[in-house]
Amino acid sequence: MSHHDERTFVMVKPDGVQRGLIGEIVSRFEERGLKLVGGKFMQIDQELAHEHYGEHEDKPFFDDLVDFITSGPVFAMVWEGADATRQVRSMVGETDPAESAPGTIRGDFGLDLGRNVIHASDHEDEGANEREIDLFFDEAELLDYERIDAAWLYEDEDH
């Protein structure tokens, strides 16, 4: 693996899907230079919701969070690139849209903590990206290809 093959898990939540934001969100990551290696339009069931948000099961908002994330379709994705997990989180913004800077996804498209449009793996939680990718995708669903502009995105990629 070269240094720009880091993968991270991202998901447009049910509010983002209903509000027609899938394309906008995908565009931001594409334009940044990240490579889409997996994508799945799906509805999360109770079991997957509990597993995905297991770290929050003792929090007061857990039941509402599970109800919300299972309430409609989501668009799950895997994006690849240099420092992908940390770079995606910086593009997503803070957990609370009200605290998120304009220019970030949550800062541009949200106002409410419980409706924050997008999930992305936490770069401060070691291995969260790989765990979440495994939870949502089979290895065969992650595609191996080169972006045609790779040599213009990375100085050390050969022309």
> Hey, which residues are catalytic here?
119
Q: Give the residue, chosen from 95, 134, 143, 151, that forms a contact with ligand IDP under the rule CB under 6 A.
A: 95
Nearest distance, CB of residue 96 and Mg ion, angstroms: 12
55-94 binders of ligand IDP (CB under 6 A):
56, 61, 65
Contact call for residue 48 and ligand IDP (CB under 6 A)? no
**147's tokens:** 């972006």
Stretch touching Mg ion by CB under 5 A, among 1-9, 28-36, 79-87, 116-124: 116-124
The count of chain residues that interact with Mg ion, using the rule CB under 5 A, is 1
Q: Tokens 């957990």 map to which residue?
A: 95
In the region spanning residues 119 to 148, those forming contacts with Mg ion, defined by CB under 5 A, are: 122
Q: Is 49 in the site for ligand IDP (CB under 6 A)?
A: no
Nearest residue to 128 (alpha-carbon basis) of 2, 10, 3, 5: 10
Query: Interface with ligand IDP by CB under 6 A: which range of 78-86, 116-124, 131-139, 149-157?
Result: 116-124
Where b means 16+ CB within 10 Å and e means fewer, 5-21 reads ebbbbbbbbbbbbeeeb
Q: Which is nearer to Mg ion, 4 or 7 (CB)?
A: 7
d(CA 128, CA 2): 20
* Residue 96 binds to Mg ion (criterion: CB under 5 A): no
The correct pick among 119, 123, 129, 137 for binding ligand IDP (CB under 6 A) is 119
Is 157 one of the binding residues for Mg ion (CB under 5 A)? no
End-to-end CA distance of the chain: 19
Query: Is residue 35 within 8 Å of 25, Cβ to Cβ?
Result: no
Contact status, residue 9 vs residue 48, Cβ threshold 8 Å: no
Residues 79 and 29 sit within 8 Å (Cβ to Cβ)? yes
Taking the complex as a whole, the smallest distance from the CB of residue 148 to ligand IDP amounts, in Å, to: 33
